[in-house]
Amino acid sequence: MEAHRLNKFLASRGVASRRRCDEIIRAGRVRVNGATVLLPGTRVVPGRDVVELDGCPVAEHPPSVRYVMLNKPAGVLVSARDFRNRPTFRELIPASLGRIFSVGRLDKDTEGLLLLTNDGLVAFRLTHPSYQVEKRYRVLVGELPEKKALVSMRKGVDIGDGVRSSPAGVSYLGPREGGHLLALSIREGRKRQVRKMCAVVGLTVRSLVRTGLGPLELGELPKGSWRELTGAEREALRALVDREPVRLERGKL
């Protein structure tokens, strides 16, 4: 039976990062076979040694891959911790889901579909520009958009720093909630991209909701709630990330 360093064992069971596990061990929160252990390098054999954290047994096996969809409300940050103590997405999911990371980001004020996973390959491919994964948004803007504004956004606009957005899908859905609703889809994910695209054509974003990511749809998931992906959704994701990447022209990455 193979022995592992205690810090590595805890990290691989989803307790925390390796460095954070070192701190947890040094704080005396971990017992091995009933005895408190303070050295992160202590060797343990999974299945033979009983490891406890704060008195609870730590799983013998590494967690299986997890895919969770969260409907992020506005005002919640997509970062692990915030030094100003503002709410983060982690507060909306139970710790029992283990270490899962967001696939890409949403701005603090953007709502909607946030995918969380511990599958690094899926996360990488869904966010890498060469995989051209579609992101779909509903954008409530303050002004009635002129046709030429929609055409410009479809073709691509200068969003600053010499960057031009790639062609986008843009359609006007009609007046809503005192503003005007657009459906917008893009295959890149630059920082604040939708907000910048709207600003360039003179539209003020009142609210922004991500409704879809590749094969995933937010659907009726209530704001602030989460759910595991279904088997069909997991398969659709796998199929998407198993594809060959698209060759991009120089300067597009």
Mark 204-233 with x for binding to ligand URA (rule: CB under 6 A) and - for no binding: ----x-------------------------
Active site residue 107: yes
Stretches 38-46, 116-124, 143-151, 186-194: which one binds ligand URA (CB under 6 A)?
A: 186-194
The tokens describing 116, both together, are 């969380």
Q: Is 107 in the site for ligand URA (CB under 6 A)?
A: yes
**Bridge partners, residue 205, by sequence:** 141
The tokens describing 7, both together, are 């810090």
Between 42 and 110, whose beta carbon lies closer to ligand URA?
110
Burial zone of 120 (CB within 10 Å; 0-12 exposed, 13-18 middle, 19+ buried) = exposed
- Say how far apart CA 184 and CA 72 lie, in whole Å: 18
How near is the Cβ of 208 to ligand URA at its closest, in Å?
Answer: 6
- Say how far apart CA 158 and CA 172 lie, in whole Å: 21
Between 40 and 189, whose beta carbon lies closer to ligand URA?
189
How near is the Cβ of 97 to ligand URA at its closest, in Å?
Answer: 22
Reduced to 3 states (helix: H, G, I; strand: E, B; else coil), residue 14 is coil
Q: For residue 228, report the phi and psi dihedrals to the nearest 5 degrees.
A: -75, 150
Please identify which residue in 103, 106, 168, 240 interacts with ligand URA, judged by CB under 6 A: 106
**Residues that bind ligand URA in the complex, under the rule CB under 6 A:** 106-107, 110, 192-195, 208
